[in-house]
Chain A
Amino acid sequence: MDYIYGLAQTIGVHTILGLSAYIVLQTGQVTMAQAAFYAIGAYIAAMATTLWGLDIVVAIVAAAAVSGAVAALAGFPALRFKGLLLVVATMALSEAIREFFFNFDYQIAVGDLKVGPAGAEGFRQIRYFYERGWTTLQVAGFIWIFVAGIMLFLWWLDRSRLGAVLRAVGEDELAAQSVGINLTAVKVSAFALGGAIAGIGGALYGHYTTHIEHGAFNVITATFAIAYPILGGLSSVFGTLIAVIFIQGLLIQGLPMLIGGELRNLLFGLLILLAMNIRPRGLIDERVARMLTGLFRAKPGSPHA
């Protein structure tokens, strides 16, 4: 059972990572920087609990705040780059931040141990959950409270005016400006929100793996972040969730049992190739999303909510 709970943890955290990219992708900004904000969240939260003895929720809030702030700062120069140039710019940002953590050394003595980030070796002994005797199930549950909260928030956002505005910006910036939408405000806000969400994900990630190091936040992680929402479809938060479950669940549970554990990323790559050829708009594209919301809507003819 512990294995299942561990899987639930991974799926939960990856869903948050994917959702952090989901909101930015809606505005048409293809971001390879989510891994960087994920990393910042992980380190900040880990330092908060391990070095400064703060409560986990406070640590997560701090992680979200710092990641969100950094993302907001990055969001402004990002406005200057369109399309593929932004991909490269955010990739460079991601690598720069990873390099920063590669060199980041800040250890203090807590009790009779020296703890803290130790450059290339990373940050070990993030033992908040262990010291308080949380079971795997409890940690998984804790993670999923955040997943559910974030999904609910984004789902509500999709149906709100802001959600429509985000998509309008993503679809046609000139038209959006011409109907009075302030592009800067919308795009930077989306970036900041995405950063904050990634920070939450990173914070949770650091605490359930207990050891974080720069290599976990590389280009591959950055591509996972955008792969989930693109594969799942940008029309619905559930698409991202399904994509994560499908990939992590199928690839970790199912196939390795048949083929042998270490081919996870390989299959992921192949899966992406296949998916993009068969369903280029994602598993849940606009048509399917509308069909699904139609199922939940009142009968045609009556005023909708």
Chain B
Amino acid sequence: MVLIQAIIDGILVGTTYALIGIGFTLIFGVMHKLNLAFAAASIAGAFISLMAWQSLKWLPVPVVFLIAAIGAGALGYFIYLTCFRFIPLKSPLATLMATVGMLIFLDEVITHISDGKAQDYPGMLPTARWAFGGLDIRVDYVLVFVISMAAMLVLLAVLYRTRLGIATRAVAQQPVAAQLCGISLDRTNAATFVMSGMLGGLAGAMIGSSAELLSNLLPLQLTVKGLIVTVIGGLGSIPGAIVAGLLVGAFEKGIETWSVLARDLCVMLLIFVFLVAKPAGIFGKLNVRD
């Protein structure tokens, strides 16, 4: 029973991992490069909202979350400019390194802002519980689930029902042809970074509110976990990232009931199993060419 409870909690919270995974995979799908700074930017957005909340105590909680999303979205654009826009395509190592530089930079900034300590973050009805057939479900986890799912649906709607979305998918598949059709590569890519940034910022806010704490250790932890989710789901696959996010969330919480110490080690083992058995990921296709 405890296990089922844990798995449910894991699925609910796993939506945040899914959001981070989607962010990585979206950028990879469109630019065929990894933005290693994505998770850090997401948490940075959350920290921006934290600072806003700390200075303007009267801000309603949903606005705080919105600030996180907007802040991370802006950071996404900044990352696009500094790491992708001006670096020539034939230097993939250079863009990778640039995002690494950004990761290091953001991680340090966050450490400085937080003074090396975890900071309090607003929660959503943190004490409310639903009793449900022997299970004790946290209302705030459910809210996280609902909000994150809603965000994913909005993203999918944008991708499949708007012109921007079509442009994004076109650029992902055939950048040259897309340009020939009059699509501005620069604006589309920038929009992709802003969209994924906003998702990430929301994820950061959700993670913070579910623990009522924003930890300065989150950027690195989330980078590793986010990449694991992305790879398990398949590089470039959004449905894969969603499924993998829930899977990893459930797996993590499940292992925790057995041993908290073993938790991270087991997540590593999980990705090794996937890398060995199905390196392309759940929904991915292994590209023969680099």
Residues of A within 8 A of B (CB): 25, 30, 77, 80-85, 87-89, 91-93, 95-96, 99-100, 103, 218-220, 223, 226-227, 230-231, 262-263, 265-266, 268-273, 275-277, 280-281
Contacts and interface: CB of A to CB of B under 8 A. Distances in A.
Interface string B83-125: 1001110011111111011111111110010000000000000
Given A81-B279, A92-B224, A93-B272, 18 more contacts: A30-B93, A81-B275, A83-B92, A85-B279, A88-B230, A88-B271, A89-B275, A91-B224, A91-B227, A268-B101, A269-B104, A269-B108, A272-B104, A273-B83, A276-B95, A277-B82, A280-B87, A280-B94
A87 B28 CA distance: 13
Interface stretch (B48-56, B68-76, B190-198, B260-268): B260-268
A88 B227 contact: yes
Contacts of A231: 97
A212 B220 CA distance: 20
Q: Which 5 A-B pairs have the closest CB atoms?
A: A272-B101, A269-B105, A280-B94, A269-B104, A96-B268
Contact of B101 (A91, A103, A262, A276): A276
B: interface residue count bin: 35 or more
Contacts, number: 129
Interface in B12-45: 28, 33-34
A234 to B, nearest CB: 8
B91 A280 contact: yes
B104 A80 contact: no
21 contacts: A77-B275, A84-B33, A84-B96, A87-B34, A88-B231, A88-B271, A91-B227, A92-B268, A95-B264, A96-B265, A103-B261, A220-B220, A223-B100, A223-B103, A266-B108, A269-B104, A270-B101, A272-B98, A273-B82, A276-B94, A276-B98
Contacts of A276: 83, 87, 94-95, 97-98, 101
B199 interface: no
Nearest to A28: B290
B104 A100 contact: no
Contact of A268 (B33, B95, B104, B264): B104
A101 to B, nearest CB: 11
Interface string B224-265: 100110110001000000000000000000000000010011
